[in-house]
């Protein structure tokens, strides 16, 4: 079929036989089984009928033959019996005959009173019908008895006639089978060609065009039966794909334009933040000099302290912004996650102690090593742990766990028992400058996510008002040395 290579390439499985050949073989096999069953039934029926017919002929003929034998014996003309048996032997369809004496020995018709031998077994497949010959009063002068059995007439019907009829039936059935197979083959080929092959050809041709990127291709015309449903479904699917593809292309074009603008704005903003941060450092130094000169507890000292606090906050925000805009290039290497987490928790320890937060660390010693920049990933986990501790306030439990994930990754979870995050806010936590904390820059989670993505990992949050928030990080393992 024309579409077979295309369908094989599409579905990843070779089509070994065309549909036309499959239909032809299936129909021919079915017809062959019907012919074979019919032939066997006819052969059995014919054989049974012919056997019964031959047996009936022998039964009908036996009284006549017995009567002729008796008459010949009564008139003293045994040669007539031999003539009768010769006639029967020359006409096999009427049946052959044998004369046996009372002891079952074969009587030689050429010399009825001569020596007798044992009767031969009937030929295989023959029908045998035996009729006893009873003695009469007139038989006493020759045989010395006037009653009882004198002998047996054995009539035989050979298998030749049945074999001939069977051969004739086989020839006629073979001729019918050949003619029937030819008719069925032509009919099945015509059906497949006009009802299956041609319609499927139009469908596969349209599929091939779509596979080459021409989404305007459609299955035209009216197809027979369920193939029309397939064609309608294909046309609808292609229309939806074409529409979705157009929307994706348009969205991609807009995103590329927006990305270019954002890249330009980001570069400009990063340069601006750098320029602003330098004067902030000078202002901070000058205010620190004025702070040392001002008397403790004076209004002037309080005002200077507030100004320094705001300058420090602005400096942290500018630093976070510069790190987000220009994340340093990672220097990946294999490292032990447990050591990195220990350093992170050491930094978070004073804050946890002040808030009376309990730590639960579940990192097995057999945990595979990670591949990444330890410094950047420590910064990411530090942000997650600080967020978790700040979310709990007084008391609570901080749970840090790690375990293998699949064959090539490690899953790290940071779970707190705080009040959780509202669903509307959970969708925005990774947006730059979005924050729900007083004094927060809104860049902690975006920077953390950027670090994780740069390492080929994934970060996501799950939150429940009753059980708190869980941050999950999936990172690649280090490849083991061969």
pLDDT in tens, 148-195: 777 888 888 777 777 777 788 778 877 877 887 778 777 777 777 777
Q: Return the CATH fold of 330-476.
A: Heat Shock Protein 90 (3.30.565)
Which segment of 4-8, 216-220, 322-326 scores lowest on mean pLDDT? Answer: 4-8
Torsion region of 183: left, alpha or beta (phi above 0 gives left; psi -120 to 50 gives alpha): alpha
Between CA 468 and CA 285 the distance in angstroms is: 42
Tell me which DSSP letter residue 473 carries: E
Q: Any idea what DSSP says for residue 225?
A: T
d(CA 294, CA 274): 30
What sign results for the dihedral spanned by CA atoms 278, 279, 282, 288?
negative
- For the stretch 8-58, pLDDT in tens is 444 444 446 666 677 777 777 887 788 788 878 877 887 788 888 878 888
pLDDT at 3: 42
At 99, give phi and psi (nearest 5°): -115, 125
**Architecture (CATH level 2) of domain 233-326:** Orthogonal Bundle (1.10)
Whether residue 5 is predicted with pLDDT greater than 50 in this model: the reply is no
CA distance 54 to 44: 15
Whole-angstrom Cα distance, residue 167 to residue 364? 86
pLDDT of residue 364: 92
Domain spans, the chain: 233-326, 330-476
Half-sphere exposure of 189 (CA within 13 A, CB side): 7
């Amino acid at each position: 079929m024309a579409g077979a290579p295309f369908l094989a390439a599409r579905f990843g499985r070779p089509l070994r036989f065309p549909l036309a050949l499959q239909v032809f073989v299936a129909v021919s096999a079915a017809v062959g089984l019907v012919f074979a069953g019919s032939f066997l039934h006819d052969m059995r029926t014919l054989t049974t009928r012919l056997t019964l017919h031959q047996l009936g002929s022998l039964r009908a003929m036996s009284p006549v033959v017995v009567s002729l034998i008796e008459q010949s014996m009564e008139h003293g003309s045994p040669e007539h019996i031999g003539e009768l048996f010769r006639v029967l032997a020359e006409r096999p369809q009427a049946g052959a005959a044998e004369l046996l004496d009372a002891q079952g020995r074969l009587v030689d018709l050429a010399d009825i009173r001569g020596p007798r031998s044992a009767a031969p077994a009937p030929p295989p497949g023959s029908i045998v019908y035996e009729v006893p010959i009873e003695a009469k009063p007139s038989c006493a002068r020759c045989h010395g008895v006037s009653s009882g059995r004198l002998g047996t007439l054995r009539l035989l019907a050979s298998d030749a006639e049945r074999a001939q009829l069977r051969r004739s039936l086989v020839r006629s059935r073979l001729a019918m089978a050949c003619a029937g197979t030819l008719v069925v083959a032509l009919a099945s080929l015509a059906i497949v060609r006009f009802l299956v092959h041609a319609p499927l050809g139009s469908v596969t041709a349209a599929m091939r065009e779509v596979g080459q990127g021409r989404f305007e291709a459609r299955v035209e015309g009216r197809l027979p039966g369920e193939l029309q449903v397939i064609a309608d479904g294909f046309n609808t699917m292609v229309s939806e794909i074409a529409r979705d593809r157009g929307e994706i292309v348009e969205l991609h074009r807009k995103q590329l334009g927006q990305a270019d603008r954002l890249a330009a704005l980001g570069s400009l903003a990063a340069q601006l933040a750098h320029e602003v941060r330098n004067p902030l450092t000078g202002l901070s130094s000058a205010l620190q000099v004025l702070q040392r000169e001002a008397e403790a507890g004076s209004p002037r000292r309080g005002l200077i302290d507030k100004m320094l606090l705001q300058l420090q906050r602005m400096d942290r925000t500018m630093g976070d912004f510069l790190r987000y805009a220009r994340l340093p290039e990672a220097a990946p290497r294999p490292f032990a996650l447990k050591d990195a987490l220990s350093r992170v928790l050491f930094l978070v320890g004073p804050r946890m102690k002040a808030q009376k937060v309990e730590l639960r660390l579940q990192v097995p010693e057999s945990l595979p090593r990670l591949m990444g920049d330890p410094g950047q990933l420590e910064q990411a986990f530090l942000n997650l742990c600080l967020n978790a501790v700040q979310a709990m306030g007084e008391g609570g439990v901080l749970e840090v766990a790690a375990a293998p994930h699949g064959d090539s990754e490690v899953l790290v979870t940071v779970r707190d028992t705080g009040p959780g995050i509202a669903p509307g806010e959970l969708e925005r936590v990774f947006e730059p400058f979005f924050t729900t904390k007083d004094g927060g820059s809104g860049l902690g989670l975006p920077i953390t996510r950027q670090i994780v993505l740069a390492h080929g990992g994934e970060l996501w949050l799950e939150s429940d008002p009753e059980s708190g928030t869980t941050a999950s990080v999936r990172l690649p393992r280090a490849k083991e040395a061969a």
